Structure 1
Amino acid sequence: MKLPSRPALPDLTRLRDRALPASRTERLGPLLFAGGLLAVGVFLLKAKPSFAHVPRAKQFGDLPRRSRLRRAAQTTRDQIEPFAPTNITDQIGRSLILGGVALLATRLLDEMAGRDTD
């Protein structure tokens, strides 16, 4: 006696997605998460907590050094310094805002695109 074969797993998933619309929580959850990312990012940019402040690079002075190695290190330090953040939370805040905006835009554009109508 041969039993009827069952559809493969991807077929069941496709059927479920067509038959059952996404729940409201699944659709609105990413919007709430994006809002949270934006809120935390803006808070970090505005509050500028002092615990994440990076000390300035020229702690030992700016006078020329005698040794070539130390002069090279000083010159390299001065070249790299403009790229270093002064407050780490600023960088984290900007990243959170960027991620929140990207998630929000993606989710809103997905809602505007609508469901497939195959």
Structure 2
Amino acid sequence: MNKILRHGDLPGRAALKRITTPAAKNTDRWTPLVFGGALIGIGAVLLKVKPRIGHVPNPTPFTDQTTSKRRHINARKARDTVKAFAPTNVTDQIGRSLVLGGTALLLTRLLDEASGRARR
């Protein structure tokens, strides 16, 4: 049977502060290192494998018309300038982001341990 909770049935604020969450356990101090290592590993795999699904087609059209209208010439120049910043494979960008995020997580956790911050 379902029991309906009333206002008096809920634990008080002091009782909630005493409850420890699973992340607050001392054994979970090193979990960020595992996550950081996993992020670095997944990112490295994406950088190495370069799955075809992440391939971005070349923004240059197959037949580049040679019209002499000023706006077409300016549009082509702008396109060719921006093309240098466009990724050729989206998974490369995702892989780099994962590697950077994992490295930041590892460094943060290791520096936290080195700083000797008081633990709860």
State how many pairs are aligned. 103
Q: Kindly state the Cα deviation for residue 63 of structure 1 after the two structures are TM-superposed.
A: 4.8
Give the 5 Å matches for 1:10-89: 22-25=25-28, 27-89=29-91
Deviations 1:81-110 (A, max 9, x none): 101010000000000000000000000111
How many percent identity over aligned positions? 48
Secondary structure of 2:84's aligned partner = helix
Q: Does 1:102 align with 2:83?
A: no
Q: Scaled by the length of structure 1, what TM-score is found?
A: 0.74
Gaps of 5+ in 1: 1-7
Paired letter, 1:24: T
Moved over 6 A (4+): none
CA distance in 2, matches of 1:112, 1:16: 28
Q: Scaled by the length of structure 2, what TM-score is found?
A: 0.73
CA distance in 1, matches of 2:90, 2:45: 13
Partner of 1:3 in structure 2? none
Partner of 1:5 in structure 2? none
Deviations 1:12-52 (A, max 9, x none): 96x999xxx84212x11111111110011001000000111
Give the 5 Å matches for 1:1-16: none
Q: Kindly state the Cα deviation for residue 57 of structure 1 after the two structures are TM-superposed.
A: 1.9
